Amino acid sequence: MIILDENVRCLVQGITGRQGSFHTKQMLEYGTKIVAGVTPGKGGKKVAGVDVYNSIEEAKEHVDVNASIIFVPSQFAKDAAFEAIKHLDLVVIITEHMVSHDTMEIIEYANRMNTIVIGPNTPGIITPGVGKLGIMPHHIFREGNVGIVSRSGTLMYEFASKITEAGFGQSTCLGIGGDLITGLDFVDVLRMFEKDPDTDVVLLIGEIGGDAEERAAKYINKMSKPVIAFIAGFTAPPGKRMGHAGAIIEGGKGTAESKINALKDAGAYVVKKPSEVVDIIREM
């Protein structure tokens, strides 16, 4: 497992909102240690049995907490993230539609404070059998030794489901987020999986746009563990913005072909559909 283990004790920022309250219940049902919630002006309430505080500073006076998951509207998410980064070791930003400049400021501050940021626009992270900080449907995951890192939440679910149906399982699954700028990137997560004793094989799920996969390929070249890769967006027309802010081809850069070639040259097993991943894992 990476990042999310039994020592992570998390609070939920935006816990009293519709998304925050719904996913708090889901995370608790999966066994995640959700120890507090934070919504300014709503201190003293409870959500799913979890005490709500007005600030992280106030929450820390009452509970031992080292992580946050943020379900806050985009216009308030930067302030929420800064508050979390100041006090905690791990911050998962579920929020979509964040301004790129806000994200850049968040990541710069997190680097200064030595805080791990996952997202924004991420489905989160799940360690089967331990817990999840995110919005993924946890019933499709099971304990195993395949580490998954993905730009797309939906594709992560699709591949994880196929792996589980085939009788295998996952060590940790992490969505880095679909925006052009994110906290953790592919290389950061690949480096963690390379050191993780619970991970024997890594699945990287990328998509068109940007150069994240090409940068990942340079690191894959040095890895001792096998890497399987999938790139979404084969048929996307240049200049057409797809579902993710980061998934756009401009100036001939970021094409599926360039990414696939880089990954193949690095020694990754590149697949065109989820069922092929299962075949490769089975052979391994």
- Per the annotation, where are the binding residues for CoA? 16-19, 42, 94-96
- Binding-site residues, in ranges, read 16-19, 42, 94-96, 157
Q: Are 130 and 4 in contact (CB under 8 A)?
A: yes
In the 8-state DSSP scheme, what is residue 43? T
Cβ-defined contacts of 106-110 (< 8 Å, 24+):
106/78, 106/81, 106/82, 106/183, 107/181, 107/182, 107/183, 109/82, 109/85, 110/85, 110/183
- Binding-site residues for substrate, in ranges, read 157
Nearest to 205 by CA among 280, 139, 152, 263: 152
Distance of CA 150 to the CA centre of its chain: 7
Pairing of strands 90-93, 269-271: unpaired
Q: Work out the number of other CB atoms within 10 angstroms of the CB of residue 119.
A: 30
Active site residues: 244
Largest CA distance in the chain: 56
Q: Which two tokens stand for residue 51?
A: 């005490």
